[in-house]
Amino acid sequence: MIIRASSTVGGVEFSEGWDSFAELVDGAWVERRPRRPEVADQLRRETRLMPWLATRLPLRVPIPEVVSETPLVVRHALVPGAAMMSDDAGHGLVLGGFLRALHDCPAADAVRHGLPSAGETRRDRAAEFDRFEADVVPLIPVAQRDSALRLLAAARGFPADTIVHGDLGPEHVLVDGDRLAGVIDFGDAHLGDAAIDLAWPLFGASRDFADAVAAAYGLADDLRRRALIWHQLGPWHEVTHGMDIGDDAVVRNGLAGLLERLEHPDPVSP
């Protein structure tokens, strides 16, 4: 995440983030404000979920609280560390253990603490995939459209029964010194498919890192297959985001990533 000087005295503003503005205050606190009205409920939900979830996890995570209602501002203590740059086996073992702990947390209790339910996940997934079919599939070369449509059809029916981070990548995994120290940005957490959190660790990182994650997690073959499909679907979100903000370069970049990932052996071929 890039940081730039803020006009607010005493703080610096994190300049990137699709859902919220984030500002570092006094070098110790992160304050966030919604970019769009619909993000406000997401931020409030994190203030209910994360204090409960944090006690069940082996790494530090943000624990936000509301500090202002009008305008809405939530604050959490800065989780120390920098985005993970080295995907070695040691970090993979730690992250695999973290994901195992996260996914083993009781789903029903999490929903009572504000996590979006399985029904919400299925509705959101259906709407999202309907948009992918309407807006993204027409951009895909005809020769690759059948493979793309098979991915969408398969993922529509994936489970929605596990607490997931929902947006796990190296930018959200923090290293302090030589140790993996924390995981941040739980705004997309929901009751979903455990495989979505394994997409980047298994298919977007080094082989040593992926093998270590799999060993620590206790990976089953079906989970690996679903993780590959979620990995292949990742750039589709960049395409629609680019459309939403009117940025053709973002659309092109997302489409290039989408086509590249479709080159992977088809996990749902007939």
Domains of the chain, each with CATH number or no CATH: 3-77 (3.30.200.20), 82-262 (3.90.1200.10)
Number of residues written out for the chain: 270
Whether 87 contacts 148, CB under 8 Å? no
Q: Is the peptide bond before 64 cis (omega within 30 degrees of 0)?
A: no
H-only helix segments in 35-161: 39-54, 89-104, 107-112, 118-131, 142-156
- Which residue carries 């957490």 as its tokens? 189
pLDDT band at 20 (very low <50, low <70, confident <90, very high): confident
Q: Round to whole Å and give the CA distance between 74 and 110.
A: 20
Q: Round to whole Å and give the CA distance between 66 and 44.
A: 7
Q: Round to whole Å and give the CA distance between 157 and 146.
A: 18
25 pairs with which residues across the strands?
11, 29
Mean pLDDT, all residues of the chain: 91
* 8 pLDDT higher than 80: no
Write down the pLDDT at residue 268.
61
For 92-117, the pLDDT digits (tens) are 999 999 999 999 999 999 999 999 99
Say what the pTM is. Answer: 0.90
